[in-house]
Amino acid sequence: MLTCRAHAHRMIDAPPDVLWSTIAAMTGMEDWYPDLIARSKVDAATTPPTRFCVMRDGGELHERILLRDADTRTFVYAIDHHPMPAQSVVGTIRIDAADTGSRVTWDAQFNVEDTMADALTQTISAMYRAGLDSLANHHTK
């Protein structure tokens, strides 16, 4: 097993607090990333809160929301159930102020078999780039 890191970042012409309100809400991922997520629901009564997403292809994601820090605009989640051949997946979305708008970074760390490491890292990075493009489109309509 290898520990890998997928990464994507993008400048978005929207204020950081506006983007943060979308991410921190936990719900509505299907609104800002509809190409991947068909529907989602959150159980905020659990500790930590959990989010369940159904992907467009029918796959499911079960996530634990580990951190929602408004001061640093950082959102951290663990994916406990997913269709990928990875284990111990922890993702982070961070939003920083930039000269014009925001710099948004989306990372994940995960464990995967050596033979699948490069391909899966590239796949997840591409998925995150597409998600950031979708987030930008959602906020710059």
pTM: 0.95
**Quick one: pLDDT at residue 100?**
87
Min mean pLDDT across 14-18, 36-40, 122-126, 137-141 is at: 137-141
- CATH code at position 67: 3.30.530.20
Q: What is the pLDDT of residues 19-78, one digit of tens each?
A: 999 999 999 999 999 999 999 999 999 999 999 999 999 999 999 999 999 999 999 999
**Quick one: pLDDT at residue 111?**
97
Buried b (16+ CB within 10 A) or exposed e, 68-100: beeeebbbbbebeebebebeebebbbbbeeeee
User: Residue 48, preceding bond cis, omega within 30 degrees?
Assistant: yes
**Quick one: pLDDT at residue 71?**
98
Residue 87 has pLDDT above 90, yes or no: yes
> Whole domain around residue 24: which residue ranges?
2-139
Distance of alpha carbon 85 from alpha carbon 113, whole angstroms = 8
Give the number of domains in the chain.
1
Q: Name the pLDDT band for 140 (thresholds 50, 70, 90).
A: confident
**Quick one: pLDDT at residue 81?**
94
Distance of alpha carbon 120 from alpha carbon 76, whole angstroms = 20
- Compute the chain's Rg from CA coordinates: 15
> How much is the mean pLDDT over the chain?
96
